[in-house]
Amino acid sequence: MRIGIFTDTFTPEINGVATSCSLLFEVLKNNGHEVFVFTTGDKTYYDEKEHIYRIKGVTLKRIYNYKLVFPFSIKILKFIKNLNLDVIHANTEYGVGLIGYNAAKRYKIPLVYTFHTMIEYYTYYITHGFLDNIAKDIVRKLIKKYVYNSDETIVPSEATKKYFKLINSRKYINVVPTGLSLDTFIKNALAHKENKENLKKTLQISSNFKVFLIIGRISKEKNFDETLAYINSFIKKYNYEKVKVLVVGDGPYLEELKKECDNLNMNQYVSFLGKVPHEEVSKYYAISDVFINSSITETQGLTYLEALASNTIVLARKADFLEGVIIDNESGFIYKNENDFIKHLVTILNLSNSDKERINNNTKKILDKYSISSFYNNILRVYNRAIKDHY
């Protein structure tokens, strides 16, 4: 099968959509398909060896340095036509995604659309609160239009599927969890755990300190300021000072989060490590006693799955997208408010080895559905149905 993947973000960028699309690219190639990626770049060029067509875009600094490309180009459309694609897979609603939509419509190619991001939660970066409800309504209508014009639509979780019922989209929605290269992740995490003390030394963390990990794109909707505030309350309530909080990641809210850390007088407890290469992420899970995330805006939450694969205990705010992934006191811990957060954090820090082993065994069952083979089989099923639907 000849497949075109259209995405506004791709490796070496570090975010959930880039990770998902990179994995899709690799798993399709490894199973014998011819795959072509269309994405953004600092300049327009085609890498013939890798089959990656990068399109120069305008960088929007207010929106995570998102690169916006003009969605119509005769040159690119002609290039797509000559590829004789069997399926176009759009992974974004704008920019490069629109190029894919235009090509699918013009050349009558089956179109698959994956909804990766809850765009409604990002409209305030444009509106700054002014007429934001109108902006959200426009976004909903746009998404419904994309779903209507696609042969098949994919979402990464059952919770995200519920969103389409909320906006009254009546077409069938495929739930396909993004696969993860878990075997490599588990292997790396295990190796790093064996070297845990040396890793802590390189980060100047005392061996008897507990490590709390915050990781991901540092943006307002991720709610990391709540995470810091609740950790601060825990430290004060129990006078628990042997703590190091590692904040791994970059984003538009980073400077604000640093200011919040300063306001809370937490600088001695927090280390901001910035953006790190994805292949190094596993070592931060490995040395951490707990992975903490307060976000309620994800469609799937890949960092939670990475933490589970690394046998790192998860403490997460209650959210629909975690349903079936983080089960309270089974595969991790769920909190609803500050008191819940502190209570669970105390429990986690006092878990026996047998309790940790029980939780880790539970996570293995959950992670099975995110295997590469399951992901590939599910994607191929959707592609074949799109072709059947189209013709």
Question: Is the pLDDT reported for residue 124 higher than 90?
Answer: no
Confidence band of 118 (pLDDT split at 50, 70, 90): low
| Mean pLDDT, residues 172-193 taken together | 79
| Mean pLDDT, residues 85-98 taken together | 92
The residues near 277 (Cβ < 8 Å, ≥ 6 apart) are: 14
Distance CA 186, CA 311 (A): 8
User: How many distinct structural domains can be found in the chain?
Assistant: 2
* Residue listed under structure tokens 């629909």: 320
289/19: higher pLDDT = 289
Q: Are residues 252 and 197 in the same domain?
A: yes
Per mean pLDDT, which range of 113-117, 185-189, 290-294, 358-362 is the poorest? 185-189
- pLDDT tens digits, 378-389: 999 999 999 998
Helix (H, G, I), strand (E, B), or coil: what is residue 13? coil
Question: So what's the pLDDT on residue 125?
Answer: 54
Question: So what's the pLDDT on residue 20?
Answer: 87
The mean of the pLDDT values for the chain is 87
Confidence band of 197 (pLDDT split at 50, 70, 90): confident
Confidence band of 298 (pLDDT split at 50, 70, 90): confident
Q: Are residues 191 and 136 in the same domain?
A: no
Is the Cβ–Cβ distance between 44 and 50 less than 8 Å? no
Nearest C-alpha neighbor of 8 from the set 92, 103, 76: 92
Question: Is the pLDDT reported for residue 156 higher than 90?
Answer: no
Q: Are residues 197 and 100 in the same domain?
A: no
Q: Please state, for a pLDDT cut of 90, what percent of the chain lies above it.
A: 52
| Mean pLDDT, residues 288-296 taken together | 92
Is the Cβ–Cβ distance between 360 and 311 less than 8 Å? yes
- pLDDT tens digits, 222-265: 899 999 999 999 999 999 989 999 999 988 889 999 999 999 99
298/308: higher pLDDT = 308
Question: So what's the pLDDT on residue 374?
Answer: 86
The residues near 87 (Cβ < 8 Å, ≥ 6 apart) are: 1, 2, 3, 4, 109, 110, 111, 112, 383, 386, 387
Q: Are residues 166 and 215 in the same domain?
A: no
Question: So what's the pLDDT on residue 130?
Answer: 57
| Mean pLDDT, residues 311-320 taken together | 92
| Mean pLDDT, residues 93-103 taken together | 91
β-strands 58-60, 66-68: how paired? antiparallel
Question: So what's the pLDDT on residue 123?
Answer: 46
Q: Are residues 261 and 199 in the same domain?
A: yes
Nearest C-alpha neighbor of 186 from the set 104, 307, 347, 292: 307
Q: Are residues 248 and 329 in the same domain?
A: yes
β-strands 87-90, 111-114: how paired? parallel
Please report, for residues 63, 73, 107, 242, the alpha-carbon distance to residue 78 in angstroms, rounded to integers and kept in the order given. 31, 9, 10, 61
Q: Are residues 80 and 163 in the same domain?
A: yes
Q: Are residues 324 and 199 in the same domain?
A: yes
- pLDDT tens digits, 328-352: 999 999 999 999 999 999 999 999 9
Question: So what's the pLDDT on residue 86?
Answer: 98
Q: Are residues 208 and 144 in the same domain?
A: no
Q: Are residues 128 and 220 in the same domain?
A: no
Question: So what's the pLDDT on residue 59?
Answer: 65
Tokens at 130, concatenated: 């002014």
Helix (H, G, I), strand (E, B), or coil: what is residue 224? helix
Domain that holds residue 208: 182-369
Question: Is the pLDDT reported for residue 354 higher than 50?
Answer: yes
Q: Are residues 364 and 377 in the same domain?
A: no
| Mean pLDDT, residues 363-374 taken together | 83
* CB neighbourhood size of 382 (10 A): 19
Could you tell me the CATH number of the domain that includes residue 76?
Answer: 3.40.50.2000
| Mean pLDDT, residues 187-213 taken together | 86
Question: Is the pLDDT reported for residue 63 higher than 60?
Answer: no
Q: Are residues 331 and 191 in the same domain?
A: yes
This prediction has a pTM of 0.72
Nearest C-alpha neighbor of 26 from the set 379, 386, 381: 379
Question: Is the pLDDT reported for residue 218 higher than 60?
Answer: yes
